[in-house]
Amino acid sequence: MKTLCLLLLLSVSAFAAKPNIIVIFVDNFGNGDLGCFGSKLHRTPNVDRLAAEGTKFTSFYVASGVCTPSRAALMTGCYPRRVGMHVSDTGGAVLQPVARKGLNPSEVTMAEVLKSAGYATMCIGKWHLGDQPGFLPTKQGFDDFFGLPYSDDMTKDKKPDVWPELPLMRGEKVIDAPADRDHLVKRCTEEAVRFIEKHAAEPFILYLPHTMPGSTAHPFSSENFRGKSANGEYGDSVEELDWSTGEIMAALQRLKLADNTLVVWTSDNGAVKRNPPQGSNAPYRGSGYDTSEGAMRMPCVMRWPGKIAAGAVNDALCSTLDLLPTFASLTGASMPPHKIDGHDITSILFGAGNTASPWDDDGFFYYRMEQLQAVRAGDWKLYLPLEGKFKTLGSRREPSKLELFDVRHDVSEEHEVSAQHPEVVQRLAQLAEKAREDIGDFNHPGTGQRKAGLVENAVPLLP
């Protein structure tokens, strides 16, 4: 009897040490779109409260300025080029419907890492890592899936002979087509709350890659938010995403889970350039879909009471690449057997004043599809001199010159300083050369690359 009681105590103790994890990953959303990061247009009280109760990370990066590769990096802790997800099966920047390509099932995802540690796993929202059966979330470590297999703008009218109606899925089945985009955020939020309620008595990870503001010029929102913001359809969508965050936090509070839940709130890439303007990447230069700071330096808030400092700001260089190894460290889960690029940043999460980062030594690399375009280490970002720099989602290329900026203190990149710091230029160029050898570059395969998944015949997702 004593032995049984001891085992039960050990089991309860082990569970108590494991936090629940929620990753909210919004779509095409810029640094300047949140009140806590400076927005005067959008009302975001719930994310602002997360920031007040947690830490804002102001040098937090995604590994790509565009959807598919950014999500591949988050899921695997690897640069997209390492896992073959830097270009689509047709040579484009992102996967499209009925793609032959997807994240290789041999890669170990964040969900698989946590599942091995006894976590319930759920993906709700936009997947965009392959729409064929073997590439869906349920084949990549998630117990269940609710949402879109790819972007909200990939609708049948664009390619009526090839693309199906935009599918809304549950698990591996299409339950609605075309999906009602006006109510996606609302429905995904309701699904998220149900998942939390169902798994309140066990550790869980909820990956919530919201579908909005999305990839269309006219973001969607439900009736309670449509026409209510000071920034048109985009602002309506932003404010509904904030409401969603509030609903999730309220559920955690109601279920007494808030104190043992790590919440990460960030975006897959910066706001896209629109005319007239919609989203804001302020104070950073550039916009979504390239390798600018505006495209890849994201608003990020993390909250875990008693572990992550409240009301703090940390400018340590961090990335979505770091989440998988950090979650593994926090939960005692085993790391993937193959090489990954992310770092365990637990010491940064728990140390508000700790701005030293592993990336300061290793260098953080900015890839545009297959091309290495820039590197950051510490305060410095070096834009590499290129004869033909990829400039758009297509293949347009033009020359670019070497430029060096102190992106920690000169966040808007107003002062080019390569002439004053030749030693920094040399060091960052050497780091870039190491990346070329390992991960690769345009017309230069890397020794550390792995292949994406590929099917011989792709079929559309139909009800």
Which residues are tagged catalytic? Answer: 67, 128
DSSP notation for 22-68: EEEEEBS--GGGSGGGT-SS---HHHHHHHHHSEEEEEEE-S-SSHH
**DSSP letter at 379?**
T
Structure tokens at 249: 């936090």
**How many angstroms separate the CA atoms of 219 and 226, rounded?**
10
- Which residue intervals of 333-421 are DSSP H helices? 346-349, 359-362
For the chain, percent helix, then strand, then coil, each to nearest 5?
Answer: 30, 20, 50
- Which residue intervals of 61-183 are DSSP H helices? 67-76, 110-115
Q: Which has the closest alpha carbon to 124: 98, 143, 99?
A: 143
**How many angstroms separate the CA atoms of 117 and 222, rounded?**
37
Structure tokens at 199: 């798994």
Sheet with 403-406, strands from edge to edge, namely 364-368, 371-377, 380-383, 403-406
Structure tokens at 352: 């508000």
Contact 211, 181 (CB under 8 A): yes
For residue 353, count CB atoms less than 10 angstroms from its CB and return exposed for 0-12, middle for 13-18, buried for 19 or more.
Answer: exposed
**How many angstroms separate the CA atoms of 64 and 77, rounded?**
12
Residue 261 — left, alpha, or beta (φ > 0 → left; ψ -120 to 50 → alpha)? Answer: beta
Coil/strand/helix, residue 415: coil
**How many angstroms separate the CA atoms of 168 and 190, rounded?**
15
CB atoms within 10 A of CB 438: 17
Residue 111 — left, alpha, or beta (φ > 0 → left; ψ -120 to 50 → alpha)? Answer: alpha
